[in-house]
Amino acid sequence: MAKTLSTAVQIQQAAQEKRPVNLVILELDTGTLRYASSKTNVTFPVAGNTYVAKALTYGDISTSAEGQIGRMTVQLDNTAKDMFTYAAITPFKGRKLTIWKIYRGTSGVTDYEEVFAGIMEEPNFDYNWISIPTTAGIALEKKYPERAYGRSCALPFGGTKCNIDGNATLTGAPLYVTGASDRGGVTVLYDNALDQAADFWNYGRLTCLVSGSSEERIVVDFFSGGTVEFDIAFSTNISGGTQYSLKAGCPKTWVACSGVSAWGPTADNRNNYGGFLHVRVKQDY
Amino acid sequence: MTVKRLETAEEMAGLLAVKDDIEEYQPCTHSEWVQWLVSQADNPKVAVWANFEENRIDSYIVVFDLVNLPLSDYLFISYAFSVLGEEQNSEVLQRVKEWAKSLGVKRITATTKLAEELMKYGFVKIADVVELKVE
């Protein structure tokens, strides 16, 4: 301690209430274990729960840009081997772990700051420590995204994850129709019954029973006034009376997902957008 | 069925799986109680005996050594839990008696909440306590 500091300041610096303590709460099926990162047991709040003194460390902390902890590994002292036994009799995986910061001397029930709350994964042991990887929110079964990490949406249009809110349902009208063609060619199909707005079926999928039996699918390039065009040709001409079905599609962009285009979802579906918009690209979408 | 004194924190931690009624006896939760026992594993003045059936604990008793001559000369049963019959429970109490003898102690007392149960095993009621609730 510097000699120039007054006694009053030294007392203030050493005061118990100036010293923060981290409390770790493990909510297991058989009971809630409470530990304090401290040399002595901590009771919080006054006459409340006892937090048993334990050596604690934190590692592998990943934070968001806002400083919130998304994932961390909590290490608890296991030199007494008690954590072995806890893990043997009750599962840790999927149970909640919370870290509170309190100051010694505070007494109110709400006098804590929640530093982290997450779900525990399978703990790892050695003879000195138990390491518990913990993820805020739902624990990740995989440590990588299930879909391609790119700006455009990688979810199938109308699929389970795209159609959560029912804006891209491909099981009935208006985004799904069946009919019989009036006439056609290898790259075009005409049907007057298709009276949707221009471009409505763009990016959609056309399925035809060509020659009456073999099924072929193609992505629609352009639609207007009962005319469906596609770049890649069918194997044979589409004749009058050919059975077909049309499912709407989308170009996988943020703008199309908002429901403002003739194509894409029937309403704003951006809550379910499957791309990663923060990925930088040179061109505009 | 074997009676064993719980010596280590690891063995104490096994009590977390026992569905006892400690919350009726002590002002703490079951898991706080187990955590406290775990922290007392190295304390020679706290002894826990448990009745094991394979790896399952069917009964246990927690005894404090309160000997501090010349002021006090007794052991104190803080808590006992059992789903077993009198014969097995007597076997556990025998271990407590042996511990008392090894310490040269002549008396074993218990919390009054256990009085009725323990009187089946030769305990005698000698006094009542008075209590003041502070609201």
Residue in A82, A86, A95, A127 to test binding to B, most B beta-carbons within 10 Å = A82
Q: Which of A136, A151, A185 is the last residue in one of the domains?
A: A136
Residue in A84, A85, A96, A128 to test binding to B, most B beta-carbons within 10 Å = A85
Residue-range domains of chain B with CATH: 2-121 (3.40.630.30)
Q: Which of A110, A136, A162 is the last residue in one of the domains?
A: A136
Give per-residue pLDDT as tens, A149-191: 788 898 889 988 899 888 999 888 889 999 999 998 889 999 9
Same domain? For A108 and A212 the reply is no
Residue A2 falls within a domain, yes or no?
no
| CB within 8 Å: A82 and B10 | yes
Residue A240 falls within a domain, yes or no?
yes
Nearest CA in chain B to A34: B32
- In the numeric block, the tokens 């789903």 are attached to B83
Domain containing A215 equals: 176-247
Same domain? For A125 and A205 the reply is no
Residue A254 falls within a domain, yes or no?
no
Q: pLDDT confidence of A139, banded at 50, 70, 90?
A: very low
All residues at 6 or more sequence positions from B101 whose CB lies less than 8 Å from its CB, including other chains: none
Nearest CA in chain A to B42: A80
Residue A282 falls within a domain, yes or no?
no
Residue A42 falls within a domain, yes or no?
yes
B interface with A, Cβ–Cβ < 8 A, is 8-14, 16-17, 28-32, 34-36, 38-39, 41
| CB within 8 Å: A89 and B29 | no
Number of domains observed in the structure of chain A? 2
Same domain? For A116 and A41 the reply is yes
CA distance B37 to chain A (A): 11
All residues at 6 or more sequence positions from B111 whose CB lies less than 8 Å from its CB, including other chains: B25, B76, B77, B78, B79
Q: pLDDT confidence of A283, banded at 50, 70, 90?
A: low
DSSP state string for A247-283? E----S-HHHHTT-SSSS-SS--GGG--S-TTS--SS
Same domain? For A69 and A180 the reply is no
Helices (H), B44-85: none
Which amino acid belongs to residue B121? Y
The ipTM is 0.83
Same domain? For A23 and A77 the reply is yes
All residues at 6 or more sequence positions from B21 whose CB lies less than 8 Å from its CB, including other chains: B81
- In the numeric block, the tokens 């927690």 are attached to B62
Chains A, B: CB contacts within 8 A come to: 60
Q: Report in angstroms the alpha-carbon separations of B117 from A235, A277, B47, B59, B126.
A: 91, 69, 20, 14, 15
The terminus-to-terminus CA distance of chain B in angstroms comes to 45
Separation CA A179–CA A149 (nearest Å) = 38
Please give the mean pLDDT across all residues of chain A: 86
Q: Count how many Cα atoms sit within 13 Å of the Cα of residue B92 in the half-sphere of its side chain.
A: 32
Q: Residue A7 in 3-state DSSP? A: helix
Same domain? For A30 and A128 the reply is yes
| CB within 8 Å: A52 and B11 | no
Residue A31 has its nearest CB partner, among B9, B14, B31, at B31
Question: In 10 A of CB A61, how many CB atoms?
Answer: 12
What is the share, in percent, of chain A residues with pLDDT greater than 70?
91
Residue A198 falls within a domain, yes or no?
yes
Digits of tens for pLDDT over chain B (135 positions)? Answer: 799 999 999 999 999 999 999 999 888 999 999 999 999 999 999 999 999 988 889 999 999 999 888 888 899 999 999 988 888 889 999 999 999 999 988 899 998 888 888 999 999 988 878 888 887
The counts of H helices and E strands in chain A are 3, 18
Residue A156 falls within a domain, yes or no?
no
Contacts of B50 in chain A (CB under 8 A): none
> What length does chain A have?
285
Same domain? For A119 and A232 the reply is no
Residue A258 falls within a domain, yes or no?
no
Give per-residue pLDDT as tens, A13-38: 777 677 789 999 999 999 999 999 99
